[in-house]
Each structure stands twice: as C-alpha cells, then as structure tokens.
Amino acid sequence: MYKRILLPLDGSALAEQALPYAISQAERFGAELILMRVLEPIAPKDPIVPKATAKQVEELTRAWAHEHLERIAARVQERGIPVQVVTVEGRPYTEIVQFAESNQVDLIVICTRGQSGFSRWLVGSTADRVVRGASVPVLLVRAAKGMT
C-alpha cells in the first residue's frame, strides 16, 4: 500500500518519537523511508552581522542536520529498510507538503505536541498545517507527556 514514507525531523527528541511508527509502517509495507530536515534560512537581523557569518552558520547547520539524519539512517538500514536522507531550506510545513507531492510520497509520519486552543494558535503547529495541506495520508504521533 505504501511505497514511500516521509518522516520530517527537526533535530529534537520530540520529533524522533515518530521514528518507531515510521519504521513499523516501512517494515509492514516494504516501503522506503525518507528522513527529511527542513532548515529555515538564517538571515542576519542586525546590519552589523556580516552576511559571510550568516552563510557560515547556514553551512554548519546544514552539515550538522545532514550528519544527524545519516546517523538515524544507519540505524534504519540495519533493519533492512531502504532509507533516503533529504535536507531542504524553507518553511517546514510548505516544504514537507511540496516534497511529498513532487516525490510520490504515500504517507507522512510526523510527531505533534498535542497542543490545542490558545497554545496551538499562539505557537502554530507544523503538524496541523501538514495535515491540512497534504494530499496523502498523515500519521500523527502524539508526543509523550514530559517531552513537549
């Protein structure tokens, strides 16, 4: 049923709580697992900060994110699951939805803090926006208490 499963991660332990669910679905359907990290561009807010410094920070952040995903991918591959690592820049929910559409993703697995009401409105919810914008099924994994 599912051939390509997308798991967006943001580098947090909270987001990685969705990993076992994504692995389970990949094993069940013999699907490829795509680990994705969306990096928001870093723009210097202070005109005193040189653009070169911001560029260096972006390059270091991109390298760290890629290495982090590669470590997770190695653990997934040990289970015999084909895995791909992707890092992109932009707004997380936009990039997740666009990537899923343009790369024939069949399922998105994403962790949510489970906030509601004012706190969700105030902070915003990437998972909520992905659910509303995705054209494929989205498996929401509620974060364990104490991890939010």
DSSP assignment, residue 41? P
Closest CA to 34 of 111, 107, 97: 107
Decide if 91 is inside a domain. Answer: yes
pLDDT (tens digit per residue) in 107-135 = 999 998 755 544 444 345 888 899 999 99
Given this model, what pLDDT does residue 116 score?
A: 53
Distance of alpha carbon 140 from alpha carbon 121, whole angstroms = 18
What pLDDT shows up at residue 6? 98
pLDDT at 146 over 70: no
Report pLDDT digits (tens) over 43-74.
Answer: 666 566 666 677 788 889 999 999 999 999 99
* 15 inside domain: yes
67 three-state secondary structure: helix
Q: How many separate domains does the chain show?
A: 1
Domain ranges, residue 128 = 4-142
In a domain, 148, yes or no: no
Residue 49: its pLDDT value, please?
Answer: 60
Phi, psi angles (nearest 5°) of residue 144: -65, 145
Cα–Cα–Cα angle for 131, 23, 79, rounded to 5 degrees:
160
Please indicate, yes or no, if residue 26 is contained in any of the structural domains: yes
CATH number of 55's domain: 3.40.50.620
Residue 147 within a domain: no
